[in-house]
Amino acid sequence: MGAIRDYLEQRRRDSRKGLQRGSGVRALRRVTPYGVRQWAKLNGTTLLVPVSRRKAHRILREPGDLQLHLASGTNRLPGWVNIDILGMHPDFYWDLRRGIPFPDGSARAVFLEHFLEHLTYGQVLDTLAECYRVLGPGGRIRAGVPDFGRYMESYVGDGAFIEELRPQRPTSLLAVAEVALDHGHRSVWDGTTLKLVLAEAGFVNVELRTFGDSALEPAPDSPTRERETVYAEGAKGGERPATS
């Protein structure tokens, strides 16, 4: 086969690997498309809504600050409520298209890492409005997204960053296209765009942050995301809520 067909076949094989699972799940991946599996996870999560709502009430009664890690994936953070859909083994099962199942002003912090790129920009603004609602005065939001802007800079520059992060693609453009189009991505990002959407959602003192640099201690960032991610952080106006 030619270089492009070889590349496409490799991408097809990679799309069926996913996260490490048992033999049964691996077999299921070989015979079911990604979209079907995602549909099943989302619908299974919907069936758990009554259970999850009861759990949300229990969580609110627990001592300490409420910190919400949205779309947590496999990065389960201690001291945070890790929220994701069925199949990801979070603390709390929830489809974030339904909003955030906690009351106004109840959270101290919200963290989103490699989630916003799976949404359209309109959906991003809706999600950030929910984050703003659920945070108390002075509560902080931290968001990290794949830095498409850095890929573009590398594309028009020496290409070293592209080759380091996504090596041996047939062309640099195909490597950049993966960031924009693969993994269910629906939007692309750079630091300027990320700051702008946080500010438009109402957050104040929004600033870009590097990996591990955060007003949240310890920084919640996943080490596997370090090289590819741009982060921004902001606050909800008002005084910081008292800690327990």
Q: Write the pLDDT tens digit of every residue in 50-90.
A: 888 999 999 999 988 999 999 999 899 999 999 999 888 89
pLDDT at 89: 86
The region of weakest confidence among 14-23, 37-46, 97-106 is: 14-23
pLDDT range class, residue 1, cuts 50, 70, 90: low
| φ, ψ (nearest 5 deg) of residue 169 | -75, 155
| Domain residue limits, the chain | 49-147+189-235
Query: Would you say the C-alpha torsion 134, 140, 144, 147 has a positive or negative sign?
Result: positive
pLDDT single digits (tens) 137-175:
999 999 999 999 999 999 999 999 999 999 999 999 999
> Tens digit of pLDDT for each residue in 84-134?
998 888 999 999 989 999 999 999 999 999 999 999 999 999 999 999 999
In the CATH scheme, what is the homologous superfamily, with its name and number, of domain 49-147+189-235? Vaccinia Virus protein VP39 (3.40.50.150)
The Cα–Cα gap between 41 and 89 comes to 11
In which order are the strands placed within the sheet that holds 92-93? 92-93, 81-84, 67-70, 107-113, 135-146, 229-235, 204-209
Taken in order 31, 37, 40, 41, is the CA torsion positive or negative?
positive
